[in-house]
A and B are shown apart, each in its own frame.
Chain A
Amino acid sequence: MMLKRAETPGPWPRWSVAFGGRGARVMTSIRGHGVLGVGVGLAMLLVATFVLYPIVQTMTYALDGQARTVWEGLLRSAETARVIRNTLVIGVATGTLGTLLGLVMALIQTRTEFRFKRALHLIALIPIVSPPFAVAMSIITLFGRSGLISRRLFGVRYDIFGADGLILALVITFMPAAYLSLVGMLQSFDSSLEEAAADLGASTWTRFRTVVFPLLGPGIANSFLLLFVSAIADLGNPIILDGGYTVLSSRLWLAIIGESDLAEGAVLSLLLLVPSLIVFVLQYAWLRRRSFVTVTGRPVSRLHPITQRNITWPLYGVALPTALMIVLIYGYIVVGAFTKVWNINFTPSLEHFAYVFRGPGREAIGDSFVLALAAMPLAGLAGLLLAFAVTMRKFPGRRVVDFASVVGVAIPGTVVGIGLILAFNQPSLGGLVPRLTRTAAIIVFALTVRSLPGVVRVTAGALNQLGSNLEEASLTLGATRGRALRTVVLPLIRPAVFGGLVWSFARSMTSLSAIIFLVTPQWRMITNEILNEAQAGRYGNAAAFSVVLVVVMVAAMKLLAMLTGFRPTNQLGTE
């Protein structure tokens, strides 16, 4: 197999659902599809109203004359420079360390004979289902001033708040994204390339240096960028852990929640949005074309695993402490949920769950389910229509639809939240849309557009596998378009449609940053309750909420995998 551009760009998340797919795909024209056309139009309207319009509003607000004073204030204060520098530091650190750890874990998984591979794999995946704040709280109780490890084991009163704790939390949270994508790339790596290098006399290390790493280069770069963006957009960890090491997202949160300063919020949103959008466009337009990993679509012959200890032992030396850290952090959350006072009184107790299920927490759980279930059909239907149109039909503006349906992932949740407030805290669009803030509707729409890109990805994945020949075969045998859809296409993608619904639900349940500015005393969500409990120092209740969320997420992911074979790549995962 010659080195060629991957036709299906491997397991790395594809931004473009339509254009990353098979090269010479022939598609049917959308002509004569009244219903589909209208549906796609409505889905686009949804995206335009609740993603693009709020962003435009935010920009207008941030670049407006009134915001001048904010800009001037920001430019003058030394704090701004510090916040931006802090943000870059945690972004770069998370990107670098997370990618490195992911790469080490991926190499062990694909290229060594490590005996507990399977266990290591499962451990590396745990953070995928991490609810917001849980990792941060666990890190504090493990390594903080009176932490289990720091204080009780080593007798140190360590101050974990700040850059160190924050970076630790972010690296652990986002590492699985790097790991999963690199495992996929290494698995589909054409071994004959390495065999050729070996044949020409290259040692294991030389092969990696001259063949494997250069070819993985784009994937590694992609992973770094993704982790960078995820880290700077993350809100939950900085709120709890930054300890004065303020980053853009926590500064933004403070501006809105603490100071109710929308103008500053808008300006900070813009600052946060720009790097995210740049990375998105980079990936959408450029990196996508530079994947040189060969994907042949059939199992690749296995290379001899690496057995040299001077290579494997350093790998284990990095991976095992990481795995231990993950187990410790997540294990301790469970401990916290089931004991009287997390990290202080270890008497087993169910009182936190009593709070969650019987006490005041019940309402938040109920609301979360109602809101997530309300967003589910909206996101599911819009996602199905967009995915179908983009993968199976050609029409003018298909690229625009493709772009619009996935651009949502690039926008940090806080920015979406502020945008929605700025756009809808008065009747908008010429009075066509009433004031939506402080209603359940705006939360539902926020959840819908936040989960939409994932739904499109899940559904488009199934449709891409389906190809267009089956529908055409049905047509040549005399079926009308409607009949072809009913008897062939829909039965085959039904699991993917359900998968999209499950995805939407799970994503909504764990959504934090987009809804944190939108929740009201009437409509609350679990994620926000976790924050409230954590801030009030009731870590046990927060841990119990987290455990409930994890159970819901794991169940949803299992269901999703069962329905579609789709494995989550933290890409669009939890916050």
Chain B
Amino acid sequence: MPKAEGGELNGTSEPDRPLLEVASVEKVFRSRGGRTIALDKIDLDVEEGEFLTILGPSGCGKTTLLRILAGFERPDAGEVLLEGRAITALPPNKRPLAMVFQSFALFPHLTVFDNVAYGLRIAKVPKAELRERVEVALMIINLAGLEDRLPSQLSGGQQQRVALARSIVVRPRVLLLDEPLSNLDARLREQMRAELRRIQRQLGITSIYVTHDQADAMAMSDRIVVMNEGRIEQIGTPTEVYERPASLFVADFIGQANVLEAELTHVGDGTVTVVVLGQQLTIPAAVAPPPGRVTLVIRPEDVKIAPLSLDPAEVGDLCATGRVRSHEYLGSLIQCVVQLRDGTVLIARIPKRIGNADAFIGGFSPDTEVRVAIPSAAVRPVHPR
């Protein structure tokens, strides 16, 4: 199990206890084919007011986890605690949580007003207060004036907003969002991303957001939980999971990663020494991997390419020579594929600066021999799984 920052359970039930705790939750789906472990001993704490994203490929268990939090599924083992109280056995309507569905799930026979008021009516909120709260909610999501429309008369983006308003108006302790942006087109999606984050901050509402889209996760989250095959791979801030991925899976799923195999020779204080590409290199490592073979990841933007004539020591700590295989001009950057002498393929991304594109493409045409250099701080040992 890779390290999980903030994942340890607080032993005490002091006031700073997390708002929502998931403790050793397991879920197995049985079908004709056999058993699928959807969730394998999941532990997770959610702090008051934070925006937590559960990120992973389809089938990783993220939606199952969300449905367990909402109460639509019961875990086979483990507990869900809200403010220290177990809610595992509570039916969905008894939980102070609200969910925004991927399909929006607006009631097609009710107007926008009645959709938003639905939860308040169930909570028997007095008429005057109900009207005010619905109006405020619609104002927050910029839909004031559309109260009498039916969902079918709204655009996709507007439906999305109504779905959001319907959930926030009941002031849930936790807002659950199940890929709510995946039905929107790219431009609208970016716009809604910013708006969702603004509303969440404004209301200080604790939110759990499930998605398979790394851009959503990076742009909105306070913390990201990366899941794979029913397990949590890493929990951390967007910068942590991108810059210090705990496993090969995380490195690969979030952004792009070059992978190198290396031999661990020495463990120092917060650093390790490895032998990679025939060179000894000391790199930072918060948690030392077990001795023996280790896997290293390097982000493409940390790989530098220089002419062969340049002195190795000047360009970076980890150096090698290779041949340019191809490059692609991507507008804001140039992506270049280099094959090293030993056959390893590295991808490098060179940020475009005024005038450098033509020079680069001209200078490093395919088959040119080049020097590749990587600063040691950019090399990360990861869990190989």
Contacts and interface: CB of A to CB of B under 8 A. Distances in A.
Interface of A: 26, 28, 32, 467, 469-470, 472-481, 483-484, 487-488, 491-492
A470 B101 CA distance: 9
A476 B99 contact: yes
A326 to B, nearest CB: 38
B297 interface: no
Contacts of A481: 91, 93
B119 A478 contact: yes
B103 A469 contact: yes
5 contacts: A467-B103, A470-B107, A472-B101, A478-B119, A483-B122
B314 to A, nearest CB: 50
Contacts of B93: 475-481, 484
B205 to A, nearest CB: 15
B105 interface: yes
A477 B118 contact: yes
Interface in B77-110: 91-93, 95, 97-99, 101-103, 105-109
Given A467-B103, A473-B105, A477-B166, A26 B67 contact: yes
Could you say which of A28, A478, A491 has the most chain B C-beta atoms within 10 Å of its C-beta?
A478
Given A26-B67, A472-B72, A473-B107, A478 B101 contact: no
A475 B109 contact: no
Contacts of B101: 469, 472-473
Contacts of A32: 91
A473 B99 contact: yes
Interface residues of B, number: 28
A409 B92 CA distance: 39
B257 interface: no
Contacts of A487: 118
Interface string B105-124: 11111000000001100110
Interface in B219-240: none
B70 interface: yes
B339 to A, nearest CB: 32
A476 B98 contact: yes
B170 interface: yes
Contacts of A483: 122
A569 B296 CA distance: 62
A338 to B, nearest CB: 45
A470 B99 CA distance: 11
A535 to B, nearest CB: 52
Contacts of B105: 467, 469-470, 472-473
B72 A26 contact: yes
B98 A492 contact: no
A478 B106 CA distance: 15
Nearest to B176: A476
Given A26-B67, A478-B122, A480-B93, A488 B107 contact: yes
Contacts of A491: 109
A479 B122 CA distance: 6
Contacts of A469: 101-103, 105
A183 to B, nearest CB: 27
Contacts of A474: 107, 118
B226 to A, nearest CB: 22
A525 B274 CA distance: 91
B70 A478 contact: no
Instruction: Determine which residue in B70, B71, B105 has the highest number of CB atoms from chain A within 10 A of its CB, and name it.
Output: B105
A477 B103 contact: no
Contacts of B99: 472-473, 476
A477 B70 CA distance: 11
Contacts of B106: 473
A159 to B, nearest CB: 56
Find the residue from B72, B97, B108 having the highest chain A CB count within 10 A.
B72
Interface in B144-180: 166-167, 170, 176
Contacts of B92: 472, 475-476
Nearest to B96: A478
A495 to B, nearest CB: 11
A447 B142 CA distance: 55
B259 to A, nearest CB: 29
A89 to B, nearest CB: 40
A188 to B, nearest CB: 21
A407 to B, nearest CB: 21
Given A472-B92, A476-B92, A483-B122, 8 more contacts: A467-B105, A470-B107, A473-B99, A476-B167, A477-B93, A478-B123, A479-B93, A488-B107
B1 to A, nearest CB: 28
Contacts of A492: 107-109
Query: B70, B93, B106, B107: which has the most chain A beta carbons within 10 Å?
Result: B93
A467 B101 CA distance: 12
Contacts of A26: 67, 72-73
A472 B99 CA distance: 9
Nearest to B73: A26
Question: Which of A475, A477, A479 has the most C-beta atoms of chain B within 10 angstroms of its own C-beta?
Answer: A477
Nearest to A483: B122
Contacts of A473: 99, 101, 105-107, 166
A470 B167 CA distance: 13
A28 B93 CA distance: 13
Nearest to A484: B93
A478 B67 contact: no
A470 B106 CA distance: 7
A481 B94 CA distance: 11
Contacts of B166: 473, 477
Contacts of A28: 72
Nearest to A466: B108
A421 B368 CA distance: 91
Contacts of B72: 26, 28, 472, 475
B91 A475 contact: yes
Nearest to A472: B72
B352 to A, nearest CB: 35
A473 to B, nearest CB: 4
Pairs of residues from A and B, 10 with the lowest C-beta to C-beta distance, nearest first? A477-B119, A469-B105, A473-B105, A475-B92, A478-B122, A476-B99, A469-B101, A475-B93, A478-B93, A470-B105
A128 B88 CA distance: 53
Counting chain A CB atoms within 10 Å of each CB, the highest count among B67, B99, B167 belongs to B99
A491 B107 CA distance: 10
Contacts of B73: 26
Interface in B117-137: 118-119, 122-123
B118 to A, nearest CB: 6
A480 B119 CA distance: 11
A109 to B, nearest CB: 29
B109 to A, nearest CB: 5
A32 B70 CA distance: 18
Nearest to B163: A473
Nearest to A488: B107
A550 to B, nearest CB: 35
Nearest to A477: B119
Contacts of B71: 475-476
B107 A478 contact: no
A28 B72 CA distance: 7
Nearest to B59: A24
Contacts of B107: 470, 473-474, 488, 492
Contacts of B176: 476
Which of A32, A475, A483 gathers the greatest number of chain B CB atoms within 10 Å?
A475
B98 to A, nearest CB: 5
Contacts of A478: 93, 119, 122-123, 170
A306 B137 CA distance: 54
Contacts of A470: 105, 107
A26 to B, nearest CB: 7
Nearest to A492: B109
A469 B95 CA distance: 17
A480 B93 CA distance: 6
Nearest to B178: A469
Contacts of B119: 477-478
Interface string B275-313: 000000000000000000000000000000000000000
